[in-house]
Amino acid sequence: MFSEKLKEFIKSEEFVLVYTELDDDDKFEFGKIIACDGAFFALKSFAPKGAPDGFTVKRIDDIYEIQLKTIYTHKMSVLIKENGQAEETYVLDNRDLIQSALSYALEHECIVDVYIEDSEYCRRGFVESVKGDCLTMKQVDTYGNDDGISIIKVSDLEYISCDSVDTRSLMQLYKDKH
């Protein structure tokens, strides 16, 4: 059901609110749907004051509600337009969004946050390689320091955040140390 709707939103380029956390109905992600592979969707995100906030890839099955044409979406579209925020164009492959997002992060040397299925387990760092079902990441701590290597099973990923406001700030700290 949601897969077809998400594909419609890609074409319309409408701003949407996507709700995926049943235990917190005040929490949503805001942006434009930019890709959908049938299992995952990609959302070009914006921060609460209209600044570009990278993109996220999440499971379609986690969506329980999508809202559009709300007062909030109107407010955000005004802020985005008024602030003259240059929008990054993210080109992702609709056949495999997880692989595509990881490839984008590797190619553009972005720090990513990856979340493991059914847990609060998150790793932050640079994608070093993706070979088959094996993701190798160079971890970065909250101060921009190298923090070892993590090897994660790609098929266990349920959420990826790339090029966000937080990770761009962390990149500044990382570059200052290297």
Residues 41 and 86 both lie in one domain = yes
Q: Cα 163–72–10 angle (5° rounding)? A: 55
Residues 107 and 177 both lie in one domain = yes
Give the separation between CA 34 and CA 44, rounded to whole angstroms: 6
Of 63, 92, 121, the position where a domain reaches its end is 92
Residues 27 and 104 both lie in one domain = no
Neighbours of 87 (CB within 10 A): 10
Residues 46 and 126 both lie in one domain = no
Residues 140 and 115 both lie in one domain = yes
User: What pLDDT score was predicted for residue 81?
Assistant: 83
Of 54, 76, 92, the position where a domain reaches its end is 92
Residues 176 and 128 both lie in one domain = yes
Backbone angles phi and psi of 47, in degrees to 5: -75, 165
Residues 87 and 132 both lie in one domain = no
Q: How many domains in the chain?
A: 2
Average pLDDT over residues 149-171: 94
Residues 88 and 131 both lie in one domain = no
User: What pLDDT score was predicted for residue 84?
Assistant: 62
Residues 128 and 116 both lie in one domain = yes
Residues 12 and 46 both lie in one domain = yes
Residues 5 and 42 both lie in one domain = yes
User: What pLDDT score was predicted for residue 121?
Assistant: 77
- Whether pLDDT at 88 is above 80: no
Q: Which residue has the higher pLDDT, 16 or 117?
A: 16
The amino acid present at 169, given as its one-letter code, is: S
Of 92, 109, 134, the position where a domain reaches its end is 92
State the pTM of this model.
0.91
Q: What CATH code is carried by the domain that includes residue 170?
A: 2.30.30.100
Instruction: Please give the residue range of the domain that contains residue 103.
Output: 96-178
Q: Which residues pair with 33 in a beta bridge?
A: 43
The amino acid present at 172, given as its one-letter code, is: Q
The amino acid present at 139, given as its one-letter code, is: Q
Residues 66 and 115 both lie in one domain = no
7-19 per-position pLDDT tens digit: 999 999 899 999 9
- Whether pLDDT at 177 is above 90: no
42-77 per-position pLDDT tens digit: 999 999 888 889 999 999 999 999 999 999 999 999
